[in-house]
């Protein structure tokens, strides 16, 4: 009886194919994990931006109501701290009451726009009735987002309906008695 001289090429090719398939599978798993992380970061970025926008939306009216004629907006302009008239007692800072966290989800600060003429900047006093309201989302500490909006305070005035072309575009037509 003569012995066959097999050199194991079939098993070697099988092992090479299996190793190649395992390597390809590992690459695909790595790509999928990276894609999942990227999606989570994008979702967290969007949610943090929405959180900051919600803070800005909640703060508009209290900030405009807090205007002071001396231009300091209740000594809150340019301090970098949240004014008391937009704190957690004044407006609700908890955007998700179901998360059982009692910390604020956003913070509001007021910043003066560069409205000074000349070289002397006065960031604590407003000169043109326009300030920036800055809302920072604190809910996602790894993804802090800020939204800044320039708001303008308008002094309330009583207008005559048909004055100078009419405030409602009525072309100087007085209303019927």
Model pLDDT for residues 136-149, shown as the tens digit of each residue: 999 888 888 999 99
Q: Is 151 within 8 Å of 130 (Cβ atoms)?
A: yes
Fill in the DSSP letter of residue 40: H
Q: What is the pTM of this model?
A: 0.65
pLDDT at 136: 93
pLDDT at 22: 96
Cα–Cα distance for residue pair 42/44, rounded to 1 Å: 5
pLDDT at 162: 55
Divide the 177 residues of the chain into consecutive groups of 10 and give the mean pLDDT of each group. Answer: 72 92 94 85 89 91 85 83 82 74 85 79 81 91 89 70 57 57
Cα–Cα distance for residue pair 126/93, rounded to 1 Å: 26
What contacts 154, CB < 8 A, 6 or more positions away?
Answer: 129
């Amino acid at each position: 009886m003569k012995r066959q001289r097999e050199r194991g090429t079939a098993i070697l090719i099988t092992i090479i194919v299996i190793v190649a398939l395992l390597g390809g599978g590992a690459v695909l798993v790595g790509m999928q994990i990276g894609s999942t992380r990227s999606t989570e970061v994008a979702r967290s970025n969007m949610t943090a931006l929405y959180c900051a926008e919600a803070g800005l939306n909640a703060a508009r009216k209290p900030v405009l109501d807090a205007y002071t004629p001396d231009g300091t907006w209740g000594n809150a302009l340019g301090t970098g701290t949240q004014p008391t008239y937009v704190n957690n007692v004044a407006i609700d800072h908890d955007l998700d009451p179901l998360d059982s966290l009692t910390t604020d989800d956003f913070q509001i600060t007021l910043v003066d726009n560069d409205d000074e003429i000349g070289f002397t900047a006065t960031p604590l006093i407003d000169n043109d009735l326009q300030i920036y309201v800055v809302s920072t989302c604190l809910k996602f500490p790894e993804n802090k987002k800020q939204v800044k909006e320039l708001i303008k305070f308008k002094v309330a005035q009583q207008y005559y309906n048909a004055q100078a072309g009419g405030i409602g575009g009525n072309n100087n037509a007085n209303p019927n008695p």
